[in-house]
Amino acid sequence: MANPTDNTDIKSMSFEQALKELETIVDRLEKGDVELEASIVIYERGEALRAHCDGLLRQAEARVEKISLNQNGEPTGTEPLDVDD
């Protein structure tokens, strides 16, 4: 794992890399075998990783489009994907 006090590397991480490290951090915190000060530091890194993953997901959602079909089921165009449906 990278130095938990240096979060500059997070911006260059792929979603998968950031998620894997975030899962490692969660596992460590759930086990409870990390000293308090270290827990705070890795929690802060975990929060930065979560925010990065969230941003990457939002970017991916913005690029996804839904295909519009006519009554015959033929494609007629695309429209933004509405994830709230």
Average pLDDT of the chain, as a whole number: 86
* Residue 20 pLDDT exceeds 90: yes
* Residue 37 pLDDT exceeds 70: yes
Cα 21 from Cα 76, distance rounded (Å): 42
Cα 20 from Cα 57, distance rounded (Å): 15
- Domain boundary assignment for the chain: 8-80
Which residues contact residue 83 at a Cβ distance below 8 angstroms, ignoring those fewer than 6 apart? Answer: 61
Q: How confident is the model at residue 83 (pLDDT cuts 50, 70, 90)?
A: low
